[in-house]
Structure 1
Amino acid sequence: MKTKQLFWGVLFLTLGVAYLLVEVMYVHLAIGGFYHYWPLSLILIGLAVLSNNNYAKLTFSGLSGLVVALVIFSFFSKSWLPWNNWDDKIHKFSTSEQFVEPFDNKVKMVNATFKIGAGSIEISGNDSNLVKVKSGGMKDLFSVDTDKQDNNFDFDISMENVHLNLNEDNHRRLEVGFNNKPNYTFNFEFGAADVNMDLSSL
């Protein structure tokens, strides 16, 4: 295998895997500042050029492709880039996963918005966390968008997508619990959802 082939192969492979992990599987990769290490790619490329050993050339070429890919991915995933701002502070999850916002006694007002089309939804006000969300049933992709400023906490939850699996329980369930200490404003946009709310403690 030629060094150029290995370099480009590793580069594209790493970019593809990193994108799938972050955007499809929602795995958090803590490489936000890795682009600062871009000179490392030049060092590895230089070592590959200077090396007389074929195995060493291939090794340095592969490593340089890996580093270049991580530098590119790290740079283009920065939150200050305009195309990344819309997705800031959004947590996406599917069946049997949870979103938890720990309790913060500085938060005095919670503004909650629900945009759910269908399914069974239970909302209560007796959770020890500030907000806790648990989904179940059909693998709907829910999106939780949060924003905390001063004493206010904005919480928006919406149903984004549906993936039907005939081998699973297809009854959609969503459980949301709020802490009873802050004050609340609610905005509900429910479709054909079966909603059970007990907010008497809020």
Structure 2
Amino acid sequence: MKTSHIFWGLLFIGLGLLILINNFSTIFMDWSTIWKLWPLVVILLGISLLIKHKYGKGFIAGLAAIILALAIFASFKTATHFFNNDFEIVFDDDGNYEFDITEYSEKYDSTLQFATFHFEAGAGSFKVKESTENLFDATAEGKKDIFKLKRFDNDSTAKLDFGMHGQLRFSFGGDGYKNKVSMKLNPNPVWDFTFDVGAAAMDFDFTEIKARKIKIDMGAASINLKLGDKFAETNIRVDAGASDIDIFIPETSGCEINTDGGLSSKNFDEFEKLESDLYQTSNLDEAENKIYIRIDSGVSSITVKRY
């Protein structure tokens, strides 16, 4: 049997089986991670061209077909989940959909020493640019009441959950797409952040914030993150798809970057390359403030600059 027949046959069989199983039950897998395996298909097909033995060529081609079937199905599942949960597309707006500007606020208590902030949203423009005397302030522009803010206090720690519910609306012939959020944070507590977003544009200025942990999980997005030197050790974890990532750190802070993004472009000026995916500033050991950055990404542009 020809190698091409094996490849296409197993590809269609694999896709068909995955779709059939999905129609009758839910397949629980991290599809946003699985789709990143597609470069293995190119590697395996290249290996098959180098192998002379026909059975070896057939095995490699079959394995490549199975991986490609998984990657295609994973991309479909990820896109379906994104659009089903984040968007409502309307071609004829009847004018009954209400857009508004909504204010959110939580008061600051001087007994608070720590704060955790979890932000979850789909597509949109999200900013943190200023500080506030309150614990948290936000202004949301878009679909009315699409965001909900919840607060839980435990001794000296406050937990804030701020996220979207329902769907965004993209209207052809109406007001179009709106989802903008501007946030302000109190600089006194030590903050832990979790951001879970889709196709978003993020601009976060944390220069006055005591940031202990920052975890960002994003899809096809762009982020501009500026850090200060207000806390001794900051740990940053970014998990991204096809994204544009720009991080700015103080020149006086020591920094270590660990990346896992073979297809990403990296711009780490003033960093020393220790291993293939490990970079450090020369002042990491003696610096009073240290920043540790871990980035897992697909096809992305990653820049870390010192200022």
TM-score, scaled relative to structure 1: 0.49
The structure where helix makes up a greater share of residues is 1
Q: Higher relative CO (CA 8 A, sep ≥ 6), structure 1 or 2?
A: 1
The structure where strand makes up a greater share of residues is 2
